[in-house]
Amino acid sequence: MMSMTQRLYYTDSYTKQFNATLVEQQIDGSHLLLKLDQTYFYPGGGGQPHDTGILNDIPVIEVMAQDGVIWHKLAQLPPAPLLPGHTIEGIIDWPRRFDFMQQHTGQHLLTQAFVQIANANTVGFHLTPDNLTIDLDQADLSDTVIADVEALANQIITENRPVTARVLPVDEAEGVRIRRLPGHLATDGLRVIEIANFDSTACGGTHVAHTGEIGLLKITRLEARGFETRVEFRCGGRALRDYQGKHRVISHLALEANGRYEDLPAAFSRLHIDLNAARDRLRIYRDLWVEAQAERLLAGADTARGYRLIVFASPDRDLNDLKLLASRLTTGSRVVALLGSAGEKAALVFARTADVDLDMGSLLKAAASQLGGRGGGQAAFAQGGGMNASLDQVQAALTTLAQSLPDQSA
């Protein structure tokens, strides 16, 4: 029978350094897997990632549980052989471990707060080094509910209630929240994490000893997922860093707005009104430009081929401007318009009226390819871009193409 690894973190989540005896090792490519008689390394499970750290000065990159045995995967092979019976010194990556302890205990707290305030149950839990979420079995939670839940969770944190672990027989676990009963129990019963007079949850993870160590719990985002709601939140150091980052951004915006952060909503409202007014004026000026430019280009069009040929290159107009101009130019009859703009985002728009027999899509592909771009379209209209071209380059490409167009004056 395979001997099981003694999981010391079950009764002590705070030990950072320990000694253990090597029981077995396995080679996994360029890595070594070590089985110890006991360990403080958490192997991952229940939504909490595994610990990392060091064994005999070699980084531990993964910790896995298999049939009651915990395997520690080393980043590299040791410089000298390790034999069963050797003493192994382990050091836990404490910042990572304590972060997970804060987040995981905060999850228990938040889950129970949602039950008490909104009768909403947690059906999913996701914890990574960068993200922390729970999924609730309710949708459309109001701002008031979220605020009340957050307030209750932080009240329990402030009260610094004890967080303890005990093992109960499964048939005596009435009142204990069990999201999913594992197929194999690593203890002689159900390990239950209790937040004094607040919550009891079956869990195999690592947790802080008092709620005050969570520091702070802040809900940062809600995401509707059908009939469920994903709640993103942060605890402890993550909540502090989130606040620091947002404070930097808000302080910068307030400085730019020449006011306080409390004034930002009003300032942005004024900017939104001003922006919409500027867009309205811009549309008016653009329409005036299109009309004036179209009249000028039509008046000066080359008519030698039996249609009015217009070649126009602009140093600064964007794709939308060219499309509007092309639409205006082709409202009459027997017109071919080859339009282009220069710059880092150079663009081409080719258009014709229905009474001219030319394929604008093929012509534009040829011109765009010459300029290092791409594009295409229908026989009567095509557009392209993806190129960085000067005004002279755009003008030369359009002129060369115009010179190759056939005569349809017959």
The CATH number corresponding to 6-92 among 2.40.30.130, 1.20.1250.20, 3.40.50.1370, 2.120.10.80 equals 2.40.30.130
Q: At what angle do helices 264-299 and 236-256 cross, to 10 degrees?
A: 60
Q: Are strands 228-235 and 132-136 parallel, antiparallel or unpaired?
A: antiparallel
Higher pLDDT, 116 or 175: 116
pTM of the model: 0.74
CB atoms within 10 A of CB 395: 18
Which has the higher per-residue pLDDT, 256 or 153? Answer: 153
Q: Is 20 or 171 the better-scoring residue by pLDDT?
A: 20
Evaluated on CA atoms 211, 213, 219, 223, the torsion sign reads: negative
Handedness of CA 367, 370, 372, 376 (dihedral sign): positive
For the 97-253 domain, the top CATH level (class) is alpha beta
H or E stretch covering 122: strand 122-127
Q: What residues contact residue 139 under an 8 Å CB cut-off, 6+ apart?
A: 224, 225, 226, 227, 228, 229
Q: Where are the domains of the chain?
A: 6-92, 97-253, 300-403
Nearest partner of 97 among 150, 40, 142, 30, judged by Cα: 40
How sure is the predictor about 286, in pLDDT bands with cuts at 50, 70 and 90?
A: very high
Contact by Cβ (8 Å): 109, 157: yes
Query: Which among 9, 208, 15, 220 is positioned nearest to 99, based on CA atoms?
Result: 208
The token duo for 216 is: 């702070």
Q: Token pair of 217, please? A: 């719990």
pLDDT tens readout for residues 302-326: 999 999 999 999 998 999 999 999 9
25-52: average pLDDT: 92
Q: How confident is the model at residue 410 (pLDDT cuts 50, 70, 90)?
A: low
Tokens, residue 274: 């001003």
The whole-angstrom separation of Cα 340 and Cα 231 is 49
> Are the C-beta atoms of 313 and 340 separated by less than 8 Å?
yes
**DSSP of 326-364:** HHHHTTSSSEEEEEEE-EEEEEEEEEE-TTS---HHHHH
pLDDT at residue 299 in the model: 94
Q: Is pLDDT at 107 greater than 90 in this prediction?
A: yes
CB contact at 8 A, 308 and 344 = no
Residue with structure tokens 């110890």? 36
CATH of 300-403, one of 3.40.50.300, 3.10.310.40, 3.30.1330.30, 3.50.50.60: 3.10.310.40
